[in-house]
Chain A
Amino acid sequence: MIQGVQIDLISADRLERMTKMEKIRLIIDDVMEGNIVVLEKGLTPDEQSGLIELTMQKITPDGFSGIEMETYAAKDASSSGGGLFGKLFGKKVSATRMTVIGPANQMKTIKKDKDLISAWVSSR
C-alpha cells in the first residue's frame, strides 16, 4: 500500500521552536523527496499561505506536481492510534489538529483510509 514511503513526524515542541520559513522549507523538502510529513500541530493561516506559494514555485512538468493535505481532529488521532503522539513523544496529544502533508500523487492512497497513517505509525 504505502510501502517504501517514509513518514516523518514533527512534534509540536519542535514546530514551536521553528520559524515560519523553516517549517515551510522542511515540509516542502521532505514532500519533494516523496515523503509524507505528519505535523502534530497544524500550521497557522499565514504559514499555510506561504506553503501554498512555495509549493507553486516548486511544481515542474513530470516532476513535482504539488501537495495534498489532510487535517485530523486530535480526538481522531488519539482514538485510532491509541494516543499516537502521546506514545511517540511521551506527552498529551495537542488540542490543535494533526496535519498530514504529502506529494499530490501519493496522497490518494492515504485519503482512502483516514486511519491508515495513524494505524501505520502506531504499529511500528
Chain B
Amino acid sequence: MNFFIRTRKRLSKFLNAFFKKRQSRIGIYGPPNAGKTTLSNRIVRDWTGDALGPVSEIPHETRRARRKEGITISNQNGNTVTIDIVDTPGVTTKIDYQEFIEYGMEKDDAIKRAREATEGVAEAMHWLREDIDGVIYMLDATLDPFTQVNIMLVGIIESRDLPVIIVANKIDLPDASASAIRKAFPQHPVIPVSGLEGNNMEELYEKMLEYFG
C-alpha cells in the first residue's frame, strides 16, 4: 500500500470517529432502593431481550455503574433513538454497615458491602460529572421526595444542563403518590411507572424519545 492510500485511510477513519455522534449515555440515578436496576432491566429487556444486573430489597445492591450499549427505542410514528443505559449505584450521604446487619447479613459481608457502597456512590457522582448526557431520576413514589439527597442531586444534574425525566416508581403500591413528586419537582416531567410490573412504560418511552432523541 503506498503512503497516500495509507494516509487517506487513516485520515478517513479519524474523521469518521470524529464526526460520528456517539450515542447518548442515559444515567439512571436516584437514592438506594428506588428501583433503578429493576427499571434498567425492564428497558434493556423490552428492547434487546437482555438484562443489566441483580435487584435486591437490601439497599446498595448496585455498587458499580453498569452500561448497556446501543438500545434503540422506537414508537409507531417511526421515531427512534439509540442510547446507552447506565444503571448507577444509589446516591446517599451516609452509609452504615449496621443497616445491612439488620437485613440479616454477616458482619464481614456487611462491612464489605458498606465499603463497596461508598465506592459506588463516588463512582455514580463521577459518571455524572464526566460521562452522562441525560438522566432518568428515579424516586420511590411511596416515600417523601423532599429529601436533601434528592434536592441536591437534581440540583447537580440541573447545573450540568442535562435533560432529565423524573420517574415516580412503584405506583403498583397503594400509598404511592406521583403528585407529591410533581409538587417537589415542578420544573421536570414526572412519569409514574411500576418498573416491577411494567405499568405505564409506553409513556416513559415516549418521553425518552422526546427528551433524549
Chain A residues engaging chain B, CB cutoff 8 angstroms: 44-46, 48-49, 52-53, 55-57, 59, 61, 65-71, 104-105
Contacts and interface: CB of A to CB of B under 8 A. Distances in A.
Interface stretch (B17-25, B73-81, B124-132): B124-132
A56 B148 contact: no
A101 to B, nearest CB: 9
A48 B156 contact: yes
Interface string B19-40: 0000000000000000000000
Given A53-B122, A56-B118, A56-B121, A66 B129 contact: no
A27 to B, nearest CB: 11
A1 B115 CA distance: 31
B159 A44 contact: yes
Interface string B96-126: 1100000000000001001100110110011
A110 B103 CA distance: 27
Residue among B94, B97, B125 facing the most chain A CB atoms (10 A cut-off): B94
A67 B95 CA distance: 9
Contact of B148 (A49, A61, A68, A105): A68
Contacts of A46: 156, 159
Residue among B114, B125, B129 facing the most chain A CB atoms (10 A cut-off): B125
B178 to A, nearest CB: 24
Nearest to A111: B148
A68 B149 CA distance: 9
Nearest to A45: B159
Contacts of A61: 97, 111, 114-115
Given A65-B94, A104-B93, A49 B118 contact: no
Contact of B96 (A44, A56, A66, A71): A66
Contact of A66 (B93, B122, B155): B93
Given A45-B160, A46-B159, A104-B96, 10 more contacts: A49-B129, A52-B93, A56-B119, A57-B118, A61-B111, A66-B92, A67-B93, A68-B93, A69-B152, A70-B148
A51 B158 CA distance: 17
Contact of A53 (B97, B126, B152): B126
B151 interface: yes
Contacts of B95: 56, 59, 65-66
Contacts of B156: 45-46, 48-49
A99 to B, nearest CB: 9
